[in-house]
Amino acid sequence: MTVPNLLRPEEKIFVALDTDNMDEALRLADQLGDTIRTMKVGLQLFFKSGPVILDRLHERGFQVFMDCKFHDIPNTVAGASDSVTSHGVYMFNVHVGGGVEMMRRAKQAAVLRAEKLGIAVPKVIGVTQLTSTSQGVLNEEIGIPGDIRDCVLQYARLAQQAGLDGVVASGHEIQAIREACGPDFLTVIPGIRPTWAAANDQARIMTPTDALRAGADYLVIGRAITHAADPRAAALRILEEVQASEGAVQ
């Protein structure tokens, strides 16, 4: 049975706490806590804070998306997936480029560890092509020929075949992934830029409103919120824009 995504916009936004300072990360989370439910912890913060950041966020009632992008041989990724699952994270990710067997082992390890601990199985998400990768970089540097959308789509199909719960992709690929993988396969979308924010190092960007209209399950937003003079006001502005556009569509 297909379950429509009935989450409210604020439940669909993951804020990327990209800082090397745990106190700053927690201050940001506290400022956003009455609106945002899920925080994304990446390698910069994790290597400075260690797993205690996950405990601190969980104590405050946040869900955590652990953005570790595992990419190694299947046995090593299975071990890492077991370890990250033991911290009770809501979601973690692996690179689809590691192959189907690697992804299958990641999911299997997450299921086994969660069952042993009696906790919810984390969503395991495959990273297709990074949103900082442009068409030119894909073809000329990485050496993958063809249209980037086709590549992302092929990776999404592989992730689904391996039993993953969804993929990280850009807003430009959401509709194609939906058509190919169905409505229950999650799309987690970084490279989100409101019209008033700079693109920075992102190549395949989309506004929050357009990404949600295209059917994104979750948006990952970092600097547009965290580097704003007032992060809470920036988050509320994004939510207002999304809600205004929802009203305009009805």
Ligand X SMILES: O=c1ccn([C@@H]2O[C@H](COP(=O)(O)O)[C@@H](O)[C@H]2O)c(=O)[nH]1
Query: Residue 69: which residues within 8 A CB-CB, separation 6 or more?
Result: 43, 93, 94, 95, 127
Which residues pair with residue 192 across a beta bridge?
A: 206
User: Which residue, 18 or 82, is less far from ligand X as judged by CB?
Assistant: 18
Q: Name the nearest CA neighbour of 107 among 127, 128, 92.
A: 92
Residue among 69, 107, 165, 217 flagged as catalytic: 69
- Does residue 217 interact with ligand X by CB under 6 A? no
User: Which residue, 13 or 162, is less far from ligand X as judged by CB?
Assistant: 13
The residue within the footprint of ligand X, chosen from 57, 78, 168, 235 (CB under 6 A), is 168
Q: Is 72 a catalytic residue?
A: yes
Reading the block at residue 230, the tokens are 């007032």
Q: Name the nearest CA neighbour of 137 among 203, 71, 206.
A: 203
- Does residue 223 interact with ligand X by CB under 6 A? yes
**CA angle centred on 4, ends 219 and 81, rounded to 5°:** 55
| Segment near ligand X (CB under 6 A); pick from 78-86, 117-125, 138-146, 215-223 | 215-223
End-to-end CA distance of the chain: 26
Query: For residue 136, which amino acid is it?
Result: G
The residue within the footprint of ligand X, chosen from 32, 181, 219, 220 (CB under 6 A), is 220
Cα→Cα distances 202→24, 64, 130, 179, 186, Å: 24, 23, 9, 25, 21
- Does residue 18 interact with ligand X by CB under 6 A? yes
H or E segment and range at residue 35: none
Cα(76)–Cα(105) distance, integer angstroms: 9
**Shortest Cβ 100–ligand X spacing (Å):** 20
**Shortest Cβ 194–ligand X spacing (Å):** 10
The residue within the footprint of ligand X, chosen from 191, 214, 217, 218 (CB under 6 A), is 191
**Shortest Cβ 18–ligand X spacing (Å):** 5
Cα(217)–Cα(3) distance, integer angstroms: 12
Count of residues that interact with ligand X, criterion CB under 6 A = 18
User: Which residue, 128 or 160, is less far from ligand X as judged by CB?
Assistant: 128
Reading the block at residue 19, the tokens are 């800082």
Annotated binding-site residue? 209: no
Annotated binding-site residue? 69: yes
Reading the block at residue 12, the tokens are 């669909």
User: Which residue, 81 or 202, is less far from ligand X as judged by CB?
Assistant: 202
- Does residue 238 interact with ligand X by CB under 6 A? no
DSSP code, position 206: B
Which residues pair with residue 63 across a beta bridge?
A: 38
Residues serving a catalytic function are 67, 69, 72
Residue positions forming the annotated binding site for substrate: 18, 40, 67-76, 131, 193, 202, 222-223
Q: Which residues bind ligand X (CB under 6 A)?
A: 16, 18, 42, 67, 127, 130-131, 168, 190-192, 200, 202, 220-224
Residue positions forming the annotated binding site: 18, 40, 67-76, 131, 193, 202, 222-223
